[in-house]
Amino acid sequence: MAERRVNVGWAEGLHARPASIFVRAATASGVPVTIAKAGGTPVNAASMLAVLGLGAQGGEEIVLTSEAEGAEVALDRLAKLVAEGLEELPETV
């Protein structure tokens, strides 16, 4: 299982627009990914309601995981997106 721990780079946390950006990126990654607050229950990273339900705040640690083939690259890209509070999924890491 691949895992990345990263602090949320969006000041407002994973709410509204940042959550939408993240969910679109997770869906576009092509691999099933889960997201959780550190020590929390993982949820589907491609579900807007699930991601909003986490209530992840800016600076808070989240954990991204996946068991799929290609997970390492997908998680690297998603982790970069979250850590840097980017507006879109980076092409490369």
Q: Give the residue carrying structure tokens 């954990």.
A: 63
Q: Does 48 reside within a domain?
A: yes
Judge whether 47 and 23 are in contact, CB under 8 Å: yes
| Residue 53 belongs to a domain | yes
pLDDT digits (tens, 9 = 90+) for 16-66: 999 999 999 999 999 999 999 999 999 999 999 999 999 999 999 999 999
In a domain, 71, yes or no: yes
For residue 89, pLDDT beyond 80: no
Kindly state whether residue 60 falls inside one of the protein's structural domains.
yes
**DSSP string of 41-81, one letter each residue:** --EETT-HHHHHHH-PPTT-EEEEEE-STTHHHHHHHHHHH
Amino acid identity for residue 29 in this structure: S
From CA 56, how far away is CA 43, in angstroms rounded? 12
In a domain, 22, yes or no: yes
Q: Considering the entire predicted model, what is its pTM?
A: 0.92
- Does the annotation mark 15 as catalytic? yes
In a domain, 92, yes or no: no
- For residue 44, give its domain range: 2-84
Q: State the CATH number of the domain containing residue 68.
A: 3.30.1340.10
Q: Which of 15, 32, 57, 60 is catalytic?
A: 15
Residue 93 falls within a domain, yes or no?
A: no
Domains held by the chain: number = 1
Axis crossing angle, helix 71-84 with helix 16-28, rounded to the nearest 10: 160
